[in-house]
Amino acid sequence: MSRAQFLAIVLAGLALRAAALPGPGTGDVTVFKVWSYNAATSGVAEMYGVGGDPLEWRRLEWLGVDAYVVYPPLVLYELGVTGRAFRLWSHHRFPNTTALNVFIKLPALVSEIGLAWLLFWLARRQLGVDAARWAATAYWLNPAALINASVLGYLDPQFALPAVGAVAAGASGWPALAGALVGVAVLTKPQGIFIIPAVALALWMMGRPDRRVARFAAATAGGGAVTAAVVAPIVRAGGSANMVAALGELAHHDMVSANACNLWWVVDYVLRVRFSVHDVGVWAALTAQNRILGISRMIEIGFPNPQPIGLALTAIAVVWALWAAARRRSMDLWLLAALAAFTVHAYTTLSVQVHENHLFGAVPLLVVAAAGRRAFRPVLVVVSAITALNLNVFYGFGDGVGYAIPRDVTLIDLSVVLAVANCAALAWHARIFSRECSTGGAPLQTSGPASIPAPAGHSHSSGN
């Protein structure tokens, strides 16, 4: 790819995003507007509520819309900055205009630019300019990235940027920075916790064995410093317990699958067919659109609580991936990113209460993995396609915009077909990851210190 071609790609991706920013996005964008307005006008410290018996969960208002905060605080600070910028733009008002759509999506756009630059830099530093241009392009023109942030207005790039940075910092021998970036990712979106296994493995395998405790201590200090700085205003305002209680509500969403095309969306579909076939007939039951099933309803009709089952399945997959990676004598950035991507993929496919946008977190991590190890490039393509289609079949190009692929185009609900495909893709992903973790898998040629030596005496297996 020539420099001129790469520049054209950069401009094309920027133009596509600029065209999409004014769009309304999903209903979540309205919630983000409520948060942005309150963060800009009242500050973040009391947005979760302050004290109370029982603890207050503050109801936020804006133009007749009510919302509660269920995200970690760092994203509120980011939305507060854009909210203040929008107030200046609109002469200290906060009207619900097309310009507000743009401002609400700006933090994600900035994060996407940062992601593209980071992917370019990581690949350029160790693989050369051609690989760097490939990596940046693989993200910048990725349909999953375009639809997730600029079109539908999700906040995922804001945690994906520090997540990728944390894995890279761990691979580069910067434990304090790795810990700090893990803190940034988790304090932006809870899904940031799924990069911790990869970062922990990097800290364990790099350098001298007698420095492991020091490395983990440095990472803990880095994460602790970030956490303390972010939550300090909330603690001073007396809202720390309210914040913990509000974030705990994420575990109480009464949804087996929240429109995520995963294992539990298939379970949802099978149960609906089973209980409706006698009323509407086999064909109508099989071809009906699937809908969100409540966990409470699933228990009510006699099935076990799916939460511990999903948690166990996810834990098994993550532990297996860690074991497969730890068998190697050495690790490199590409395999660490692949481990993090597989962890995110396993969570989104096997856990309950997963939302339609959560698989996006695997996409930039797979770009890193695929830049150094070509075997992950087909996985990147498939996971990106599933992510983009999962978003599109439910929301099109935004509320009231349309252009969603009809879910009956495949006779059986397209979302169910995608869910089955995603389950198969996870198994395929696991097979490729296992193969690459064997001694037979070698990265592309490098021009810098990409590998992390294992401590002396570390055992491994050359099998899959």
Distance separating alpha carbons of residues 3 and 5, to the nearest angstrom: 5
- Convert the pLDDT of each residue in 26-43 to its tens digit: 999 999 999 999 999 999
Residue 58 has pLDDT above 50, yes or no: yes
Token pair 């296994």: residue: 197
User: Residues of 406-441 as b/e, b for ≥16 C-beta within 10 angstroms?
Assistant: ebeeeebbbbbbbbbebbebbeebbebbbebbeeeb
Per-residue H/E/C for 281-303? CHHHHHHCCCCCCCHHHHHHCCC
Average pLDDT estimate for 192-196: 95
Residue 440 has pLDDT above 60, yes or no: no
The four Cα atoms 204, 207, 209, 212 give a dihedral, to 10 degrees, of -50
- φ/ψ of 230, rounded to 5, equals -75, -40
Chain centroid, CA 215 distance in Å: 26
Report whether 56 contacts 50 (CB < 8 A).
yes
pTM over 0.85: yes
Q: Helix H segments across 128-209?
A: 129-140, 143-145, 156-171, 175-188, 196-205
Q: Strand 330-332 relative to strand 65-67: parallel, antiparallel, unpaired? A: unpaired
Question: Does the N-terminal peptide bond of residue 54 adopt cis geometry, omega within 30 degrees of 0?
Answer: yes
Spatial neighbors of 440 by CB under 8 A, at least 6 apart, are 462
- Convert the pLDDT of each residue in 201-260 to its tens digit: 999 887 777 888 999 999 999 999 999 999 999 999 999 999 999 998 888 888 999 999
- Convert the pLDDT of each residue in 282-311 to its tens digit: 999 999 999 999 999 999 999 999 999 999
**pLDDT for res 251:** 81
Report whether 140 contacts 9 (CB < 8 A).
yes
pLDDT band for 454, please (50, 70, 90 cuts). Answer: very low
| Least reliable range by pLDDT among 180-194, 235-249, 323-337 | 323-337
**pLDDT for res 453:** 36
Report whether 343 contacts 200 (CB < 8 A).
no
Amino acid at the residue 372: G
Strand, coil or helix: 258? strand
Report whether 231 contacts 243 (CB < 8 A).
yes
CA distances for 328 relative to 117, 254, 311, 331, angstroms: 30, 41, 27, 7
pLDDT band for 102, please (50, 70, 90 cuts). Answer: very high
**pLDDT for res 140:** 96
Ordered by start, the domain boundaries in the chain are 3-256+307-453
